[in-house]
Structure formats: structure tokens, C-alpha cells
Amino acid sequence: MLKYTELVLDHFKNPRNLGRIENPDAEATEGSIACGDMMTVYLKIEDNRIVDIKFESYGCAANIATASMMTEVVKGLTLEEAKKITWKDIVERLGGLPPVKYHCSNLAIDTLRKAISAYEESLVGK
Amino acid sequence: MKVFLDNCRTTRVLPEVVGEVEKYMLEKFARPDGLYESAQEIYDELTEARKFFAKTINANSDEEIIFTSGATEANNLALIGVARANKKRGNHIVVSALEHGSVMSIVDALKKEGFEVTVVPVDHEGMLRLEEFEKALRPTTILVSVIAVGHFVGSIMPLKQIGEILSRQDHKIYFHTDAAEMYAKMPLDVQDLKLDLVSVSGHKFHGPKGVGFLYVRKGTKIEPIMYGAESFDKRRPGGENVPAIMGMKKAAELAFEQMEESYRRLRELQDYFIGRIESEIEHVVLNGPRGEKRTPYNVNFSFSFIEGEAISLGLSLEGVEVATGSACASESLEPNYAILAIGGDHERAHGSIRFTFSRFTTKEELDYTVEKLKKVVQWLRNISPLKAER
Amino acid sequence: MRVYLDHAATTRVFDEVAQEMVKLFTQFYGNASSLHSHGQEAKKLYEEARTKIAKHLNVEPEEIYFTSGGTESDNIAIRGFLKANFPNGGHIITTQIEHPAVLEVAKQLEREGYSVTYLKPTSDGYVTPDDFRRAIRKDTVLASIMWVNNETGVIQPIEEISKIAREHGIVLHSDAVQAVGKIKIDARLVDMLSASGHKFYAPKGCGFLYVSKRVKVEPIMYGGGHERGLRSGTENVPGAYAMALALEIIEKNYEVWSGKVKRFKEKILSAIENIPAHHVNGSNTIFSHINVSFKNVLGETLATALDMNGISVSTASACSSHHGTARSHVLEAMQLEDWMIDGAIRISLGYDNSENEIEYFVEVLSKEVDRLRKMS
């Protein structure tokens, strides 16, 4: 029924950038327990660049794997570059996902973008 | 170590059963309707098989056993066949909220043919609410289908009381049960329970896949759902799957031999397993009833703050195979309705794991499972943004 | 000596196929719909089987649906097609010589308000393309014409009928139960095709149905939505795998095996030629079948006599014998003389028959016909 690629299983077994950041520059949570899919992303930003990113996840293997891959992809990118990353990019990098799981990848990107927006909004008025 | 704890979904075929299947594929392969001696032998053996199965459920006659390609087909024949044949008398069908998906799909399809369906709720333990059940019956009710043992939360339904309620009605209401999780695991007496129709699946008690049977009480008004050459029975045409039937018979013989002892032994293991999980892992909720109301073959827990598909995949990577009620694990992305039916919320469904034993499950396997479970749960809870403060 | 010449009724599973099935029963027994590795492995084998069978028939894998056998496939094809496209009625063309799995469905459909034309065969046992064309009406929605007749082995003119059906936009189903594994089939000629595993050395209890992508069919049974909703029920992985493997084995050995069987058939036919007052029922028959009648000898009596010599053949259709001596509806439709109908036996050869067996059979046949005639 659900066939995961080796890469997805790897990111599931060994997620990258797991955990929290003390005093993050931005933090965002998307999804809900009711949906069975939830993620929190923490960002450390310097000179508009994501120097550190961590995540926590409540959800299925695809959820964990896409979050992990997403953090790997955007770590070190500028905010502008990070905003351009799409869910399809994540799926491609993972070597594909069962279509029914695409929404997990969506969640990862949505959470990232929400964190970036929160950061940018916090700058306004500074 | 590999531990298979998804026996409710399917079981491994026993070597003795494989031997039977092989024998009938390679040596005694004739059809029962041939005109030669080897065919007559097969015919006689099939009749013996029918008699055997009839005896296992205390049916009155071997003619009341119809071999099918499995429980799904048996359910289809029972429900569609009886509904259509009794349409003139009424169009109302009553089922429980814990029916197996196949039954729900069938009654949904029957709605399109003009039948009305009432789904009677269950309580928080997964037991049918008998008062509401009785109230749901109408003069136009022709058929009731209640699963014998809930396949997700393991509740043993009050079939005897249901049978009694139905016998008190002033018109005949056919009583069907999907007994896939009861047959060969605990006693099933169709006279005692006043059942008219019973579906049984071969691959649930170490028989081959692709075979099952439907018990149809003599006198039941029922139509076929397929047409063709009359094998033994007009109600189910097509060549009999002799190897699988004989394999199923062998599997049943072995299962019934050990039925009582297995029930006792697994009850102990079940208590032990539940005890360990509840004392060694925090924030867990047992889904379904405790004790005698529950089949000893089923344990189902929800683990807070983490998600079922991830848990089951994590366990699978450690060699333990289970099932989950999480939406993420289903094609339809809907949480398991059984958890919702017993009053659980979506979160509880998402975090649910079902462990189902076979009569060969050992304490060693369960100890291994608990260790791996602790490891996986701990690890996933570490990654989860949800914490106990909630 | 035991000689099995009733392959059209059922066949013995190939040894290799049985071995593979044992492996599947004991090792890869996972439910193909579940997440864990046991299930995933099973699923992989199941889909591989589908792909192989599709290739064998020259169609796409997603056009193959696994069922519990030929009868079920016929039911899904005909009833499922009508339910999905013409639930309120219409005209169906079939033949008088179809297998009961199609005939009984047709009769039931008549009871439900459909009109059915049953094409009459020639005395040689086939329905003609012209008769098919003439039967077409404005409200014809479906045709079901078998590929090879199970009793006589007569190969029906599917190619020509297919052309006509296409011309008129009529969906064509074919019960190919007796053809699959014996002759090369290009399923593209038809829109739906039924097959049954135990006729081609795969086990009983499994079959498949080809449904062209262009055609919509609804299920007749409901449940977990397996086979893309068309046929619910836990996947019978060993059965599916067995069918694909059996066809593979047949393809590999086809030249040698079919040559062998053809020779055996010729040998038997020569022997029959030497028996006076005989009639071979049907022409343009497949290499496995010989349906023959001997005057003044009842088919059933001859079959019993052969059985007493260890030889298994059949008479009328295997399927009607539960109910006493039913007369063959096929031979009756061919309007053969009474003695031909009552005297008919069906000899169906298989790839596992040997030279010795055929020689023995030929000897016994002549002897028994002679003996029985002296008694009558």
C-alpha cells in the first residue's frame, strides 16, 4: 500500500536537525493533532540567512522525513532563497513519495514559510 | 527477531495445511462433478468437509454450508442475497457501528438499491448498546448484521442477547454475523445464538487465502449474487476451490483441537502484555474492553503525543509487525472509525496501535515487542512538539 | 494405468507452480494491503503477476483484475458492465453454446428486463459473423461470445466478430476460459475477457478479468475496495502468482508441448477413423479437444467403461452432471442427430499427457466401443 524510498526511510530513522533552538529568531507550528500531522520549526537567522534550523514533528513517517529533508535543504540559504523552495522540491530530493503523502511535504514548507513570515513581521517596527 | 502481531489481518499458513493444499493440487486434483472414480472421491470428501464445518458451529445440516472465496464474498452473499430476496417484506437493515469495512461497503451499496440502514452505536468499550438496538428494530426490518468480535478493538459482541431480542419480534428478522475473528478461536453455536447466517474466513486461522464459507440456515430466503453452472449449490456457482477448502478444513481441525487451551494461554499473555505496557510506558490508553468482554487475541493501545504510522513503521524496522488506526496509514486518510465509535477523538485514533496474537504467540515475542515499543515510543516522543504538559 | 483426459474440466497444477505457492504460503504470507514488510513483499509479487499476465495478453497491467475464477469474472464483466452503463435495460447478443456461467447470467438479465439474442451455432459448432451482424439492433449494448467452446473445443471467429462489434460500437466480452494457455490471445481484439486459473495448470479458486481502459465496469461485490474497487476481498497472492507463472511456463514450452498434444490428437483421430459409425462433433477445434460420438453407445456408459479402465473423460458438460444426465445444450444447439448428442464423450488432452497414455487410451477406446456395441 505505501512504498517508501530508501531515502525516506533513512530520514525517518535518522532525522536531521531534530530538536529545539534556545531563543530562536523565529518559530512556527502548523497542522493539528486532529489531523494527525503537526510540526514546529525553529530558526536561527543572521544577516537574513538561516544559520540554524531545527524541527519537532508529530505525524507519520512521511511527515518526519519531509521535515528532515526540508531542514537539510534550507539550512544555510538566505530567506529569499528559502522562500522559493517548494514541496515538490522536497519530494524530488527524497526520491519521491506516495502521492497520498504529498500533503506532508506541503506541511513542512508551510511551517517553514510561516516561521519566515513571523520573523519578517517581527522586524517591522524595529 | 521478527514478531508478527498483525494476525487479525492475516495469519501464516501451517505446514500441515500447505500439505493438504499441495495434495489436492498435485494428486487429487479432479473436479467433484467428473464421471470417474477420482471425481467421486472428491465429491465425497467435499461432502465430508461440509459436514465437518457444520458440526463446528452446531449447524443442523451440511447443506447449510456454502463455500466461498472468502469472508468478503460470504458477507456479500449473506447481505445482498437476503436483502434482495426479502425486499417485498421490508427494506430496513440494522448493523452495529463496529462492523468490518466490507459490511459497511455492502450496506452502503444496498442503500442505492432502496434499502434503509440504521447503524446502532456501541459504548466506550465497543459493546453494542442493546436498548438502542432493540429500539432500532422496525416492522420493516428484514436483516441484522453484527460482527461477532470487533476486529479493531476486540470487543466480543452480545450475540446471544441479540438473538433473543430478535426471536421475540413478531416477524422474522434474519440474523447475520461476520465471525472472522470468532471462528475457531472461541465457541460459536448457531442454535444457541439463534443465528441465520455466519461468515467465516479461512486465512484468519492459518488456512489459505481465497477461501471461506457462509452458513445459511435452512429456510432462509436468499438470492445468489452470481450466476453460473451449479456446482453443489445454486446459490454459489463456479468450480469449488477444493485444495483451499481441504486446507481450510485441516486448519480448522488443528485450531479446534487447541481452541480452549489457546484461549486460556492467550488470556494470560494478554493480561501480561497489557500489564507491562501500562506500567512501563506513560500516557497510554487501552482501546476496547478488559477481561472477558474482550477477545484474548487482541490488544489495542493509543500512545499520546505520537502518531500511529510512525510507530508501526518504527516497530517494523525493529522486526515487529502490527497495525495502526491512524489516518495516515489508510488510503482514504480517514482515522479508524472503530476508535471514533467507542468515543475516542481523532488524536486517539491517530495514536492507536493494534497488536493481534496468533495461538502460537509466545511470551518471549511479547517481551521483545515491549522493549522495542518502549524504544520507538520514547524516540518519537522526543521528536514530537507535543509534550505531557498539555 | 490411470490416464487423465479431462483437462477441459480441470488440470493438475504444475509442480513448479505448486512449489512457488508453498513458498508464498509459508514465507510471504503478509496481507498485501498492509504496511509492513511482509505485506509489501506480498504486494510486489502480486503486482508482478499482474504485469506478466497483462503482457501475455498484450494489454496493460491496470486492465487486469484478479478474481476468484471464471464464473466470477463472467459475472463481473456482464453484470458489472451493464450496471455501470445501461442499468435500465438494453439488448445483449450472446450464443446458445456459452458456458452456463454466461448463460445463467443472461437468463437472469432477461428476468430483470434486458432482451437477449442467443445466436445459434452451425452444425460445425461455431457462430457466424454474418449471424452476429444480423442480430445487431439499435439498442444492442453488449455482446458476449466465447473464444473456444468448452465442450467441443470449436474456436469461434472472434477476430471477425470483433471487427463487426467495433464497427457498430458494441462492447465485446469473451469467455476465454478454454483458450487462455492454449492459443495465443491478443486481448486487444475484445473489450473484456474472462479466464480461470485451474484450466491452465494454476490452482483452483483464482482467475482474472481483462477490462479495457475504455470500458467502465462496476463491482458486483463490495468491501475493502481491492482491485481498484472492482473486486473486493483480501488479495489471493499465491493464486495470482501461480497463474502468471503457469502462463510463463506454458509460453516457454509452447512449441514442444503444443506439438506433442497435436500429435496425440491426430493419433486419437486416426484411431477413431477406424471405428465405424462415429461422428466428431465440431470442426476447427483447438488441439486439446476431441468431442466424439459412437452410434449405439451412450456417452455416459462409454465414459464409465473408460473409467473402469482407469481413463477419465467427460460427457455433456462437466457442470451439468450433478443433476443426472443432462443433455449437452451445446450439442443440442448444433442440432446434431440424437445418437450424436447422447453418445458424445469429450476427450481433452493436456501438456502432461504422455505417449504411453495415449496409446493405452486408443487401445481401450476401440475395445470398449466394440464391447458396448455387442451388448446393446
Q: What is the domain-level CATH number for residue B131?
A: 3.40.640.10
Mind listing the pLDDT tens digit for each residue in C29-82? Answer: 656 555 566 667 888 899 999 999 999 999 999 999 999 999 999 999 999 999
Do B97 and B232 lie in one domain? The reply is yes
Instruction: Give yes or no for a contact between C63 and C55, defined as CB atoms under 8 angstroms apart.
Output: no
Record: contact B383-A37, CB cut-off 8 A: no
C167-199: per-residue pLDDT in tens? Answer: 999 999 999 999 999 999 999 999 999 999 999
Grid cell for residue B335: 482515522
Looking at the structure, tell me whether residues C234 and C267 fall in a common domain.
no
Instruction: Mark which residues 101-130 of C lie under 8 Å from B by CB.
Output: 101-102, 104-105, 107-108
Is residue A53 domain-resident?
Answer: yes
Q: Both B58 and B192 in a single domain?
A: yes
Query: What is the tally of structural domains in chain C?
Result: 2
pLDDT value, residue C31: 60
Looking at A2, A9, A20, A35, which residue is catalytic? A35
Q: Do A2 and C35 touch (CB under 8 A)?
A: yes
Closest CA in chain B for residue A17? B383
Does A126 contact C at CB distance below 8 Å? Answer: no
Residue B136 and residue B100 share a domain: yes
C273 and C224 together in one domain: no
C307:B35 CB<8 A: yes
Q: What is the CATH number of the domain that holds C260?
A: 3.90.1150.10
B286 forms beta bridges with B301
What single string gives the DSSP state of each residue in B88-123? TT--EEEEETT--HHHHHHHHHHHHTT-EEEEE-B-
* Residue B356, domain CATH: 3.90.1150.10
Q: Read out DSSP for A26-66? A: EEEEEEETTTTEEEEEEEEEETTEEEEEEEEEES-HHHHHH
Residues 138-197 of C with CB under 8 A from B: 196
**Confidence at residue B333, expressed as pLDDT on a 0 to 100 scale:** 60
- Both C193 and C325 in a single domain? no
Q: What is the pLDDT of residues C86-95, one digit of tens each?
A: 999 999 999 9
Q: Which of C303, C370, C310, C277 is nearest to C4 (CA)?
A: C310
Length of chain B: 390
Within-domain flag for A38: yes
Same domain, C243 and C270: no
Q: Is residue A1 part of a domain?
A: no
| Helical H segments across chain B, by residue range | 15-26, 37-56, 71-85, 101-112, 130-136, 159-167, 242-280, 308-317, 337-341, 346-350, 363-383
Active site residue B328: yes
The answer to the question of residue B388 being in a domain is no
Q: Same structural domain for residues C211 and C92?
A: yes
Instruction: Clarify whether residues B336 and B357 are in a common domain.
Output: yes
Which residue range forms the structural domain that includes residue A14? 6-125
- Give the pLDDT of residue C174: 98
What would the mean pLDDT of C225-237 be, rounded to a whole number? Answer: 85
Q: Are residues C298 and C231 in the same domain?
A: no
Q: Does A34 touch chain B (CB under 8 A)?
A: yes
Cell reading at B20 = 493438504
Asked if the model's pLDDT at residue A1 lies above 70, the reply is no
pLDDT of residue A21: 93
Question: Where does a domain end: B221, B253, B285?
Answer: B253
Write the CA distances from B5 to B255, B281, B362, B366, C308, integer angstroms.
Answer: 18, 19, 11, 9, 52
Nearest-by-CA chain C residue for A3: C40
Query: If you count residue pairs, one on A and one on C, with CB atoms under 8 Å apart, how many are there?
Result: 9
Nearest to B79 by CA among B135, B149, B147: B147
The values of phi and psi at residue B384, to 5°, are: -80, 140
**Whether C227 and C127 share a structural domain:** yes
Domains contained in chain B, number: 2
Domain count of the fold of chain A:
1
Q: What is the mean pLDDT of residues C302-306?
A: 93
The alpha carbon of residue B182 is apart from the nearest alpha carbon of chain A, in Å, by 27
A5: chain C residues, CB-CB within 8 Å: none
Distance in angstroms (rounded) separating the CA atoms of residues C374 and C376: 6
Same domain membership, residue B147 and residue B162:
yes
Within a domain: B390: no
Residue of A nearest to C43 (CA): A1
Q: What's the pLDDT at C316?
A: 66
The pTM score is: 0.90
Note whether C222 and C336 are same-domain residues.
Answer: no
pLDDT of residue B258: 97
Domain-embedded: residue B389: no
Q: Give the whole-angstrom CA distance, residue C124 versus residue C144.
A: 20
Three-state helix/strand/coil letters over C13-41 = CCHHHHHHHHHHHHCCCCCCCCCCHHHHH
Domain that holds residue B218: 15-253
The predicted structure's pLDDT at residue C319: 46
How far apart are the C-alpha atoms of B43 and A38, rounded to whole Å?
A: 60
Q: Which residues of C touch B38 (CB under 8 A)?
A: 2, 312
Options A39, A73, A97, A104, the catalytic residue:
A104
Minimal C-alpha gap between A87 and chain B (Å): 18
- Of all residues in chain B, the one with the smallest CA distance to C37 is B316
The last residue of a domain, from among C188, C223, C249 = C249
Check: CB of residue C214 under 8 Å from CB of residue C60.
no
For C203, the closest of B25, B109, B230 (CB atoms) is B25
Domain end among C207, C226, C249: C249
Chain B residues in contact with A35 (beta carbon < 8 A): 327, 346
**SS in 3 state form for B327-371?**
HHHCCCCCCCHHHHHCCCCHHHHHCEEEEECCCCCCHHHHHHHHH
- Kindly state whether residues B230 and B296 are assigned to the same domain: no
Residue A3 and residue C40: Cβ atoms within 8 Å?
A: yes
Looking at the structure, tell me whether residues C277 and C225 fall in a common domain: no
Across the interface, whether the CB atoms of C71 and B228 are under 8 A apart is answered yes
Closest CB from A15, A36, A40 relative to B328: A36
C88 CB neighbours in chain B (<8 A) are: none
DSSP letter for B162, please. Answer: H
Residue B278 located in a structural domain: yes
Q: Within this chain, do residues B65 and B154 fall inside the same structural domain, yes or no?
A: yes
Residues of A in contact with C32 (CB under 8 A): 1
Q: Which of B130, B313, B328, B340 is catalytic?
A: B328
A60 is catalytic: no
Q: How would you write C200-248 as a 3-class SS string?
A: CCCCCCCEEEEECCCCCCCCCCCCCCCCCCCCCCCCCHHHHHHHHHHHH
For residue A80, being part of any structural domain is answered with: yes
Across the interface, of B309, B335, B349, the residue whose CB is closest to A60 is B309
pLDDT, position C263: 98
**B325 in contact with chain A, both atoms CB, cutoff 8 A:** no
Inter-residue contact C343 to C327 (CB < 8 Å): no
Whether residue B322 contacts residue B379, with contact meaning beta carbons closer than 8 Å, is answered with no
CATH number of the domain residue A106 falls in: 3.90.1010.10
Residues of C in contact with A1 (CB under 8 A): 32-35, 39-40, 43
Q: Which residue of B has its CA nearest to A28?
A: B385
Nearest residue of B to residue A8 by CA position? B313
- Determine, for residues C307 and B228 on separate chains, whether the beta-carbon distance falls below 8 Å: no
Please give the backbone phi and psi of residue B267, each rounded to the nearest 5 degrees, phi first.
-60, -40
CB contact under 8 A, A58 and B326: no
Mutate to test the interface with C, among B1, B5, B8, B10 (most CBs of C within 10 A): B10
Residue C333: partners with Cβ closer than 8 Å, 6 or more residues away:
C95, C96, C97, C120, C121
Q: In terms of domains, do B232 and B290 share one?
A: no
Instruction: Please report the DSSP string for C38-54 in residue order.
Output: HHHHHHHHHHHHHHHHH
Asked if pLDDT for residue A34 goes beyond 90, the answer is: no
Q: pLDDT tens, position by position, for chain B (390 residues)? A: 899 999 998 899 999 999 999 999 999 999 998 888 899 999 999 999 999 999 999 999 999 999 999 999 999 999 999 999 999 999 999 999 999 888 999 999 999 999 999 999 999 999 999 999 999 999 999 999 999 999 999 999 999 999 999 999 999 999 999 999 999 999 999 999 999 999 999 999 999 989 999 999 999 999 999 999 876 678 899 889 999 999 999 999 999 999 999 999 999 999 999 999 999 999 999 999 999 999 999 999 999 999 999 999 999 999 999 999 887 767 666 668 899 999 999 889 999 999 999 999 999 999 999 999 999 999 999 999 887 654
* Residue where a domain terminates, one of C219, C249, C279: C249
Convert C197-227 to b/e letters by CB count within 10 Å (16 or more is b).
bbbbbbbbbbbbbbbbeebebbbbbbbbbbb
Q: Domain of C215? A: 15-249
